[in-house]
Amino acid sequence: MTASASLPAPAPAASATTALAPVVPAWLDRAAYPFALHTAALPDGRLSYVDEGRGPTLLFAHGTPTWSFEWRHLIRALATRYRCIAPDHLGFGLSDRPRGADYSPEAHARRFAAFADRLDLRDVTLVVHDFGGPIALPWALASPDRVRNLVVLNSWMWSFADDSLMQRRGKIAASFVGRALYRWANASLRLLTPSVYGDRRKLTPAIHRQYLAPFRDRWARVEVLWALARALNGSAAHYDELWQRRAALAGWSVALIWGLRDDAFRPTMLDRWRIAAPHARVVPLADAGHWPHEEDPEAVVAAIRKLVAG
């Protein structure tokens, strides 16, 4: 197992979960991301995670091509009253990035479940974004008594077999051209990420650097990022299994917070969530795109507080 040269080698773990040594990558903006760093040692590698605050637990699951940095505004605002836990999936952010590891949604889901079990998390409000849905929901649906609330931010839990637009995008992403764009142009970060902001000016150069820095290595763009891009269609069975278990959503309080200017996950996907969870509170954000918590964090914080308070 080897880590990317862009990342520091974490200190050896004294136990299953421990604080990292204070050495952090030179590119990390500690003013924007001032949280104490922890690590969970799993069989595939070590996951870096944030664990801030006390109170009812909020568990965050990020998507691609980002990492727990995307939750920083929510953690700052909510850690005064809640325990906020935000891991970096293997290969992302400050977590280990072993070459040759399985970076499919199914593998990430198994690791996320192992992480939640390792910390013995219960009575959780699960907050998912993008691929965080297909990664975290398998654990939640397998252990529904450990989840109290679900917050969905521009994510999904179904196959795209009947969605011609997403099918077409998935085919392009999985193609030889798609692979080359990911490897040589860093397409998901340099092309796709800016394109799905509601207001591209909110993706400032300083913020963008925090997402670009972990993926300086071309091999990682293919093994880690492109693995998820080709899984849009390639992991259809995984997503379909989640959809078949959607009845479990009725046992949780659910908030659907949606950036309506998201050109990747359009409002028709929000309509699908309304079918899956007709009891959900819907919070449409007219000016936000794919990352509502980056673009309108105050509205997202308010919606989460309202949901948790009941």
Please list the active-site residues.
Answer: 130, 262, 290
Contact 218, 110 (CB under 8 A): no
Which residues are bridge partners to 84 per DSSP?
Answer: 52, 58
What order do you get walking across the sheet with 83-87 strand by strand?
17-19, 37-42, 45-52, 83-87, 57-61, 124-130, 147-155, 253-259, 281-285
Residue from 83, 1, 6, 103 nearest 38 by CA: 83
Whole-number Å distance between alpha carbons of 65 and 294: 14
Distance CA 89, CA 95 (A): 7
Which helix (H) or strand (E) segment holds residue 189: the answer is none
Confirm if 271 and 245 have CB atoms less than 8 A apart. Answer: no
User: What does the DSSP assignment read for 236-290?
Assistant: HHHHHHHHHTGGGGGGSEEEEEEETT-SSS-HHHHHHHHHH-TT-EEEEETT--S
- Compute the C-alpha angle 261/293/287, nearest 5°: 30
Amino acid found at 269:
M
- Nearest Cα neighbor of 76 from 61, 62, 86 is 86
Helices (H) and strands (E) in the chain, counts: 15, 9
